[in-house]
Amino acid sequence: MDNQTISNVMPRIGDKAPDFEAVTTTGKLKFSDYNKGSWVVFFSHPADFTPVCTTEMSGFATEKEFFAAHNTKLMGLSIDSIHSHIAWVNAVHEKTGVLFEFPIVADIDMSVSKLYGMLQPGESETAAVRAVFIMDPEGKVRLIMYYPLNVGRNMAEIKRTVLALQTSDENKCAMPLDWQPGDKVIVPAPKTVEALAERKKSDLEMVDWYLAKRSL
């Protein structure tokens, strides 16, 4: 983490993802290089060799084909040493057959955790909460989720949000409540009277002039 300014202010949606270099289970990485050209789901866990974290990391690992199919890389983090990470990866693989192939940041000095606001003092001053950051291929933060130490994440929701963000970008649309792949999407509201008149003649599913849906 040489020559980096560390703060406790978390990045916001729409911000450029804070860049960093770190030691990981797959070698030293620079985040901006890892992110380039791909979506990234970057997530923290409180500690190695803990039960909830083991279920979560195993969940990410077993979904590797889904994420790869959608141009999405994974990266984990906790405030543990690289030796702890390697021992944990090995233990889980030996006990369950699940291998954590994605990089896990060894953030023993808490620098990356502070850079991303993963330390929540009211919850813990020494363990990262269960944060999820989704970055697009341009390195912009597109979605943020935070879970407390005692509640595991919802993998189906993480996968759904990746698909929703990608579908929205590709089709210039928005997603309604509980959207799932194959559901209708919301089209942008008309910005002129002429556009409104055209909408009324269209085959869109109209709830009102500002709320219309279509199939992809």
**pLDDT, tens only, 107-159:** 999 999 999 999 887 777 778 889 999 999 999 999 999 998 899 999 999 99
Domain ranges of the chain: 21-153, 172-214
State yes or no: pLDDT of 6 exceeds 70. Answer: no
pLDDT on residue 10: 83
Write out the catalytic residue numbers.
53
Hey, what are 148's tokens? 């407390």
**How many Å apart are CA 19 and CA 10, to the nearest integer?**
13
Assess contact for 131 and 146: CB atoms under 8 A: yes
CATH of 172-214, one of 3.30.460.20, 3.30.1280.10, 3.30.1020.10, 3.40.50.1000: 3.30.1020.10
**How many Å apart are CA 119 and CA 8, to the nearest integer?**
8
- 8 band by pLDDT with thresholds 50, 70 and 90: low
**How many Å apart are CA 137 and CA 35, to the nearest integer?**
6
Within 10 Å of residue 119's Cβ, how many Cβ atoms?
21
Average pLDDT (20-46) is 97
pLDDT on residue 147: 92
Mean of pLDDT over the chain = 93
pLDDT on residue 163: 98
pTM of the model: 0.91
Q: Which residue has the tokens 């697009």?
A: 136
Average pLDDT (176-188) is 97
Task: Pick the closest to residue 4 from 104, 133, 113 (CA basis).
Answer: 113
State yes or no: pLDDT of 100 exceeds 60. Answer: yes
Average pLDDT (189-204) is 92
Q: Which stretches of 148-190 are assigned E, i.e. beta strand?
A: 185-186
- Which CATH number is associated with domain 21-153? 3.40.30.10
Average pLDDT (1-7) is 43
- Which tens digit of pLDDT belongs to each residue from 45-93? 999 999 999 999 999 999 999 999 999 999 999 999 999 999 999 999 9
